[in-house]
Structure 1
Amino acid sequence: MTSHAPSDPAAAASTATRGLQGMPGEFAARVSQLLESMRSIGASLDLHSTLGSIAETAAELARARYASIVVIDSASGDLADFASYGVDEVDRDRIDDIPDTTLTVPIVVAGENLGDLVLAEKSDGGAFTRQDRDLVRIIATEAGIAIGNARLYEESRRRADWIDGASAVTTALLSMADARDALEVVAEQARSLANASAVGVLLPHPDGEGLENVAVSAEDPDGIVGTVIPWYSPAATKLREGEAVFVDDTASDPRMITKLGRRFGPCMLLPMRSGTRVLGSLVIARQRGDALFTESDKTMAAQFARQAAVALVMSEAQNDRERLAVYEDRDRIARDLHDLVIQRLFATGMMLQGAHSAAEADDVRERIDKAVTELDLTIQEIRQTIYSLQQQPPDAPTGVRGLVLREIAMASAPLGIEPSVSFVGPVDTVIDPATARHLLAALRELLSNAQRHAQATQIGVVIDATAMLPEGRAAVRLTVADDGVGLPDESERRASGLRNVEARAQSLGGSVWTEAGLGECGAGTSVLWQVPAAVPA
């Protein structure tokens, strides 16, 4: 994509008309009409409708019955857009069979051919003239400006999305106690941003065998987690050296030697590098036949991988500091117990033993003996506590409520709105850890789905720990409701992420269904995900 596209259509058209002085008055009038039409079209960012208006203007001013604008994808060479005027009224193949009455002008901006503007069949039955060609060239310039502006806008919007995604990843890595959950957030964010079919996070295998896939976000995740790319693989070798690998077709690329590696189409393998240290790799893949990754895609994804690596290093450092602070605090408590509490208990015991010798009544001696025994037991318990404090503490668990709130906070930036959230029942005690993991993954998927498809202005999340299954078993119910455009049709359902959510529920013996959303008259969608409160043993 060129970064030098003009941004003022009228000025560009004015430049294109220089040197046309002296043309017949009729042509000058048509140019004036063209400039007025261009001003009315404006700088709309809706590229397809703008190109349609330009095609209509071209047909009217050149007195052609049919006009079309063909836009070519700069990366793959495939058709990126097609706008037309009058073409629906005839068989398009017939236009190609009329070379004498067809006028084709390339759309070129900054030396890059973006497509063609094609006119067919003069309304008077004659041939297109030189004046028609000059006029259409001016219109092609306008089309190029519209395409260039739209691409610039799309790139800036997608760059902002990648920045928001990197921010969400940093938040996740710095706040999540479970590293695996944090890496899944990395995979899910990258998949959404790159419009990919599957994304995996690879870390060095503990046994040094290669790179192991430890977290994945995919339409079909079966057989991906746990796979290892051996170090002798050409791709793994490049990644270990901190170099990115870009593959247009994994099935035919000799660098992809694993069966899993040849399962997809266009693929980016990006090192997660911080300084000279390579922590792992981010693999972003699309299905076979999908669009190739553009240079802009590659640049933004590589920056995202580096940001994820920096966040991972910061997370490690923060965890180390937190563990050190815990150790220091535990050591201080242990010293205080040993130096102060135990010494005072010893002194109290010795005082009681002195009182025992002076006591005359048997019942007093008995009570003193009992008190000394209790002190001895207390000292033993304190010593055991000191020993426990000197052991490495386990990671402090985080409740379901806190994890849900953290997910909501991380989703707010890419969504552009802050979802509301409410809890029903004792969610921290009813929902077991295994069920909580699936619930959080389903929540992330549904929020990501809302971001990509719903176009919502309101999103509400409810976690209900008091739900019941039809057979009377305790259940947990997740509801994500919005006021957006509604569910996609069945052909888009897989791409929307709902299939993943349904599969998670079914694997736990639960179900997923939809109801009316938050908008007026029930507009939008509510997705309800319900599973047993505890995973069956």
Structure 2
Amino acid sequence: MTDPNDTSDPVSGLSFAHAARLQFDEILEQLVDSARQVQATQGRLRGLLRAYLAVARADNLDDVLRHIVEAARALVDARYAALGVVAGGGLVRFIHSGMDIETVQQIGHLPEGKGVLGLLVERPEPLRLLNIGDHVASVGFPEHHPPMTTFLGVPIRVADRIFGNIYATEKNGGNSFTADDEELLLALAAAAGVAIENAMVEVATDLLGEADLKAVLGRLVRSAREAMEGSGALAAVPTEDPTLFRIIATDGVYEGRTGNELSIADSLLDDAIAQGEPVVAEPSRLPAGVIKSGRPAVGQSIALPLAGEQDTIGVLLISRDTQHEPIDSLDRDIMTGLASQAALVLRLADARRDNELLRRLRDREQIGEDLRERVIERLFRHGLALQGAADRAFRPEVAQRLQEQIGEVDAIIRDLRDAILTMGTDD
């Protein structure tokens, strides 16, 4: 008969050992999972560090943006990634990675900042979605666009403004983007903001350090024409006559007009200066004679005033050909940015001229001071010595010759004083 108080039942002992073993296996599995998570985290942190280095080592803004997109795609294990540059409430530039060339060509135009992408433009804050199509802001995809479901987007801030957004879609393996993915992309966006600011400062420094400002302005005018896919562009500055502007840089159909004066009266250039903002108009509003005979006709044109500290210091004109689509608000925003750069170059040129004039005036002042302190005083002492010698001369002809030399010294002193007084007044 078994004692009910006997605790040495071998079955009970086996049950306890089995339960302990199960608990140990669970703890071991948790430790293994934790180790894997630590390894995965370390791997992703190393990936973030590599992304930092790739972005930081880029030589120019275009390379910086491209490296940001590639780094974002690799960092969160996404099939597609992109970066949209924001200006004027829309996307003015879109750099993408993951699509083949044929697909891109079939889709045609790049995103303009509508739907979910537009939501990030309006509300620049992180956005993580399980399915893009389920969001109320979704407007669908254009024809030939690859299917996309999962989505992650974060803003890029440069200084105190929004530069754009990083987008990642279709996480590999059919998974959804996680909070860790969001944190990694935010960290990349922070590094991207610094790299973009540095690249923009470097561009500005190159412009400011360029010795030939006319060459810089020429490049800006050419860039304006290319960005607009235009047929011609020019920049002009005012003359003493407010209705006449002098052309200082040209490209495309307007080439060959550099140095010529242009009457802007009753033209879109005059309208842009008067209104202080970009003006789009048909060819009938172009200044008379702006296109040389034999050159192709142009279509719509846009004129942008180049603002100085107090008044307009120039005007930028870009024209499209007759077959091109009309100029829209996005074109206006892009050209406004280029116009601000052109205005910066003109202001820099004015500042350099002022500094050069000031330097020359200071040099002349120093020369005048040296003449007063050294040359005139020495001549004066020399004249006094001659006067003393003339007073002591016994022969009349010697005294006469000395008096003539004294008169010559006085004349030289008068001429020097006149020259000093007129220095700097001929500029």
The TM tier, using the shorter chain, reads 0.3 to 0.5
Q: Which has the larger radius of gyration?
A: 2
TM-score normalised per structure 2: 0.48
